[in-house]
Structure 1
Amino acid sequence: MWLGRGSKWEDEGAREALPRYFSILEGTEEPVFSISKRVEVRFEDNLPLDELWNLHAEGMDRLRENDLREKPENNLLELKALIASRIMESCTLCEIKCRVDRREYIGYCRVGESLVASDFLHYGEEPELVPSYTVFFSGCNFRCVFCQNWDISQYRVGIEHVPEFMAFKIEEAFRRGAKNVNFVGGEPTPNLPFIVETLRHVSVPIPVVWNSNMYMSEDAMRLLDGVVDVYLADFKWGNDGCAMRYSKIPRYWEVVTRNFLLAAEHFGAEFIVRHLVLPGHLECCTRPVLEWIVENLGKDVRVNVMFQYRPEYQAGEYPEISRMLEGKEKQKAARIVEELGFRNALVG
């Protein structure tokens, strides 16, 4: 079934795929970062990183066991913030693992300190997310030749905020009707230390959306467990060859599929999986991506198969993708979704 934009099935499909997210909106559940604040973990700031990770594992066990305290002296979210800041000293937050000391220098992602390029109530996301308080960071660990946000993903632009002020802006957006805070870019992963530190100061029950290319390291995935409510996850490529040619990224399939499987085990986390259909890439990318999702995440997962590709940035240098999608390609993508039996899909 082709569930196009504006379909009456949109809300039903979203609720079926994202029950916990809707429960947070309705006030019967808490965002997971709020719960992590009530997990007691005692630690000293000067402990070695491996000892902090051991304490983190104990804290995650308490989170899953619902072993909570009101206003503990030290909590799991604070520990996550400390570990994230330590990782920045030799950065391995994404799978590039450039090991740059990002307290002093700019990483491969072009991120040193976090810069907010823009932030606003966004009405162009999936219907269940709107309005979404969307925080666009500059910098990215991908080099997509067709990037529509190249002016912020490939350059250092924006304003440096202190976490307390960013938290204030999130709370103000919540009071203005934002359904969620949506961290995007560029790519949010290099900004994980800033994001977690910001959430320490957020006191409103706003769901966290992680709008990402899913190329995080395993360490970053451990930190995101207990922070993210919805992975708004981009699944671009069906093979490593296309990923390297168009995004300059090695080991794409291995890393991204691993992270989807890890995220599926994260406390309270749910998915919206986006796939942008590219001209000429239905058999090499669209079909294998959607087949993998069905086989590993199931037919009920929320997927958004998008036809919004435009040949921007450097796409003109690649003749095979320097055009818009044809009508027959859109029809074929819709047929693949129908053949695979997705029950909560958006297509178009």
Structure 2
Amino acid sequence: MSMWFKRVDIGEIEKAKRALPHYFSILKGDEEPNFFQAKKVSVEFDEGASLEELWQLHKKGMELLREGEFKENPEKSLLDLKVIIANKILEKCELCEIKCGVNRKESIGYCRVRESLIASDFLHLGEEPELVPSYTIFFSGCNFRCVFCQNWDISQQRVGVHYSPEEVGIKIGVAYARGAKNVNFVGGEPTPNLPFILDVLRHVKVPIPVLWNSNMYMSEEAMELLDGVVDVYLGDFKWGNDKCAIKNSKAPRYWETVTRNFLLAKDHYKAELLIRHLVIPNHLECCTRPILRWIGENLGRDVRVNVMFQYHPDYRARGEKELNRTLNYEEMLKAAEFVKEFGFKNTMVG
């Protein structure tokens, strides 16, 4: 077996520490999670103001955050403002790049989400070694239609339990007390649930890092709201071109959207990146190679990347000729060679 294949050992933790210093500083207690600091930025606003006016105040609030202008227990905070803006966006939803425009306070959007439903939540031990145990919250609904989705039973259906933001805030506190290293918002897809998640964080009292476990198909407006809240973007980079993305995930403008969002995330307040790429059969040259090349050239060779071999033909993939099998050894070896070719330093492979 190639030395480039993934080994879960102390070496992986050392790679993670090099790539994710802010995250590890939070774990040590040397830094606060970003949402704690967003709570300390005082912003005066009128909830009845126009969205344009609120965005202007948000811009000023983000400037105060970056300047370190904090106040303990302000009457209204930057995080409170983010909640108000996110809920106004719901009235004509543009949280993801589909921009279906549905009033999601009254109807189900393209993502199949109206009110946020939690399909499951637990201490996850199957994530990257630096993340476990991870308190993982699975929301139902998704803005993609991946033909091989392993979570299709929650991503393509409305299932789960509706909790109040206060209740989920308490659950996060309990998970932290049980040893959770982070809170991991996933799905489905967390993006349609952004207003709810921001509201949840208003009620979290423990200094737990926030992971945004996403397909990275958010709108620019959603990315602005995430700035100053997310500690680690656990971003999925699936497709190396729009043709594959449309065919297999029904995601128009995929390459433009996802590359834009990774570049935005790179510049977000204290945010770090952990990028997952699931290697897909017959998509090495069209997807794996261009994705890894782009990451290396635009995000750097020190970024934490997990090149994954866990593809399985779930959901409707058995009916797709090019997707109806697992990876073969030659494909695994080629993916590992790409990692070496592009000079990544903190990558997991396997």
- Contact 1:3 / 1:345 at 8 angstroms: preserved in 2? no
The TM-score with structure 1 as length reference comes to 0.99
* Counterpart secondary structure, 1:321: coil
2:251 alignment partner in structure 1: 249
Corresponding letter in the other structure for 1:329: E
Provide the C-alpha distance between the structure 2 equivalents of 1:78 and 1:6, rounded to a whole number of angstroms.
40
Percent identical: 67
After superposition, the C-alpha distances for 1:111-149 in whole angstroms (9 at most, x for unaligned) are 000000000000000000000000000000000000000
TM-aligned CA deviation for residue 2 of structure 1: 1.3
Q: For 1:228-267, what aligned pairs fall within 5 Å after superposition?
A: 228-267=230-269
For 2:204, the equivalent position in structure 1 comes to 202
In structure 2, the partner of 1:57 is: 59
Q: Which whole-Å CA distance do the structure 1 matches of 2:93 and 2:298 have between them?
A: 30
Change (3 A) 1:336 1:268: same
Choose which of 283, 286, 296 in structure 2 pairs with 1:284: 286
The separation in 1 between residues aligned to 2:8 and 2:113, in whole angstroms, is 38
- Choose the corresponding residue for 1:215, options 192, 214, 217: 217
> Cα offset for 1:8?
3.5
Encode CA deviations 1:233-265: one digit per residue, 9 max, x unaligned. Answer: 000000000000000110000000000000001
Give the secondary structure class of the aligned counterpart of 1:53: helix
Q: Provide structure 1 residue ranges, at least 5 long, that are not aligned to the other structure.
A: none
3-state DSSP of counterpart to 2:345: coil
Which residue of structure 2 aligns with residue 128 of structure 1? Answer: 130
Counterpart residue type for residue 325 of structure 2 = R
Establish whether residue 22 from structure 1 lines up as the match of residue 6 from structure 2.
no
Letter in 1 for 2:50: P
Q: Distance in 2 between matches of 1:89 and 1:113?
A: 13
Residues 180-234 of structure 1 show CA distances to partners (whole Å, capped at 9, x for unaligned) of 0000000000000000000001010000000000000000000000110000000
Structure 2 residue corresponding to 1:330, chosen from 318, 329, 332: 332
Distance 1:52 1:226 in 2: 16
| Distance in 2 separating the partners of 1:178 and 1:64 | 28
**Separation (CA, whole Å) in 2 of partners of 1:338 and 1:206:** 34
Shift of 1:329: 0.5
TM-score normalised by L of structure 2: 0.99
Q: CA RMSD in A?
A: 0.7
Deviation at 1:3, TM superposition (A): 5.2
Counterpart-to-counterpart distance in 2, 1:191 and 1:173: 20
How do residues 77-116 of structure 1 correspond to structure 2 at under 5 angstroms? 77-116=79-118
* Aligned position for 1:74: 76
Deviations 1:46-77, CA, capped at 9 Å, x for gaps: 01110000000000000000011111111000
Q: Which residue of 1 aligns with 2:149?
A: 147
Q: Which moved more, 1:285-294 or 1:314-323?
A: 314-323
Distance 2:92 2:246 in 1: 25
| 1:40 corresponds to | 42
How far, CA to CA, are the matches of 1:21 and 1:39 in structure 2?
Answer: 21
Is residue 3–residue 10 contact of structure 1 (8 Å, CA) maintained in 2?
A: no
What amino acid does structure 2 have at the position aligned with 1:303? V
Residue identity matched to 1:317: G
Q: Please, which runs of 5 or more residues in structure 2 have no aligned partner? A: none
| Count of matched residue pairs | 348
State how far apart, in whole Å, the 1-side matches of 2:263 and 2:336 are: 25
CA distance in 2, matches of 1:72, 1:150: 42
Partner SS, residue 22 of structure 2: helix
